[in-house]
Amino acid sequence: THKIILDTDPGIDDTMAIFFALQAPELEVLGLTTVFGNVPAQMSAKNALSLIELAEVDIPVCLGAAMPHVGPESSYAYFVHGDDGLGNINHPEPKGQLDPRSSAQFIVEMARKYPGEVTLVAVGPLSNLALALKLEPQLPKLIKAVNIMGGAAFVPGNVTPVAEANIWNDAHAAEIVFGASWPINMFGLDVTYDLPFSPDFTSQLAEQNPKLGGFVQQTSKFYTEFYSQGKDETVCYFHDAFPLAYMLDETLFTMTEGHLRVGTDPLHKGQTSFAPNGSTTSELWLNMPKLKVATAVDHPRLTQLFIDVYGR
Ligand code: BDR
Ligand code: CA
């Protein structure tokens, strides 16, 4: 099994990803570290608590960064995920308590406890990971890999023409995280926007797993309305589950190796500018550490994997 920490801002696709991780016997979820993003930090942490209670598991949930590294408080994505971040379905209030450690502290503690074993799966803004790097500069040596949902290498962004939401929400943190020397696998809009899910898919999740799949089906209604605006079909996207699926089956994805820079100036804020190996001689890129970017995904097999894991 793989030890993971899931860094998240639930969030509807985060919800689908959290349940996927908890259902997969191949993954040992050490804890959920939460961060502002889709919703403010406190709500993100509270939602994560509600979700693990629903799944009836007892793992730490930590409160994380409330603000980006630089600049003002973020604007939140209530129009995508609902006023409560979970599709306005009146989900139950959590009964449990947050872990006393901050998200960044928890990441550092687990990395020291299990050196070389922990994969960070980051599906929100990268603020907590950047804070953890500040707390423990040796962190890249202690962490096995960092699997990120974020960015857009060869496709347009979803917040600006060039930026994806997780990277845009804390571009300075992203610059720090992509600049550190640890193995990074990036799953951006290149693959997550390539695979739309119809309501038939969430029905199948609900059939396989009435409780958790049923919750995803309920909570996805609001989200699907948002994504279907102006389209002929009813669809939504489960971005955040992609980096987890990779851990179960790497052959689902085509990974392209290269170097990446994150934009931080106003025009390019959050842009992930990717140079595949051999495509540039510019030191602006070559000085950055190498990473792998997902550039294609096997639709039928990934869809089937989601359904299978919900059924376990
Ligand atoms: C990412 O932004 C958030 O809205 C989603 O949860 C996902 O992590 C997609 O751009
Ligand atoms: Ca997310």
ipTM of the complex: 0.98
Q: Which of 18, 34, 79, 123 to mutate to test the pocket of ligand 1 (most atoms within 8 A of CB)?
A: 123
**CA 283 / ligand 2 centre spacing (Å):** 32
CA-based torsion, 134, 246, 244, 268: positive or negative:
positive
Catalytic site residue from 7, 9, 84, 240: 9
Instruction: Give residue 72's pLDDT.
Output: 84
**CA 8 / ligand 1 centre spacing (Å):** 10
Average pLDDT over residues 212-237: 95
Summarize pLDDT for 237-279 with one digit per residue, the tens: 999 999 999 999 999 999 999 999 999 999 999 999 999 999 9
Ligand with the closest atom to the CA of 36: 2
Q: Which of 79, 149, 193, 227 to mutate to test the pocket of ligand 1 (most atoms within 8 A of CB)?
A: 149
Average pLDDT over residues 84-98: 94
Average pLDDT over residues 205-234: 96
Ligand 1 and 270: CB distance under 6 A: no
Q: How much of the chain exceeds pLDDT 70, in percent?
A: 100
Among candidates 12, 13, 24, 1, which has minimal Cα distance to 311? 24
Average pLDDT of the chain?
Answer: 97
Catalytic site residue from 91, 172, 239, 259: 239
Buried b (16+ CB within 10 A) or exposed e, 56-91: eeebbbbbbbeebbeeeebebbeebbbebbbbeeeb
Summarize pLDDT for 295-307 with one digit per residue, the tens: 999 999 999 999 9
pLDDT tops 90 at residue 66: yes
pLDDT class of 90 with cuts at 50, 70, 90: confident
Q: Which of 38, 222, 226, 242 to mutate to test the pocket of ligand 1 (most atoms within 8 A of CB)?
A: 38
Half-sphere exposure at residue 75, Cβ-oriented, CA atoms within 13 angstroms: 3
Summarize pLDDT for 141-197 with one digit per residue, the tens: 999 999 999 999 999 999 999 999 999 999 999 999 999 999 999 999 999 999 999
Instruction: Give residue 61's pLDDT.
Output: 98
Summarize pLDDT for 17-55 with one digit per residue, the tens: 999 999 999 999 999 999 999 999 999 999 999 999 999
**CA 152 / ligand 1 centre spacing (Å):** 12
219, β-bridge pairs: none
As a whole number of angstroms, the distance between CA 219 and CA 30 comes to: 25
As a whole number of angstroms, the distance between CA 55 and CA 128 comes to: 24
Ligand 1 and 74: CB distance under 6 A: no
As a whole number of angstroms, the distance between CA 126 and CA 24 comes to: 24
Instruction: Give residue 74's pLDDT.
Output: 83
Half-sphere exposure at residue 20, Cβ-oriented, CA atoms within 13 angstroms: 29
As a whole number of angstroms, the distance between CA 139 and CA 128 comes to: 13
The verdict on whether 259 is a catalytic residue reads no
Instruction: Give residue 73's pLDDT.
Output: 84
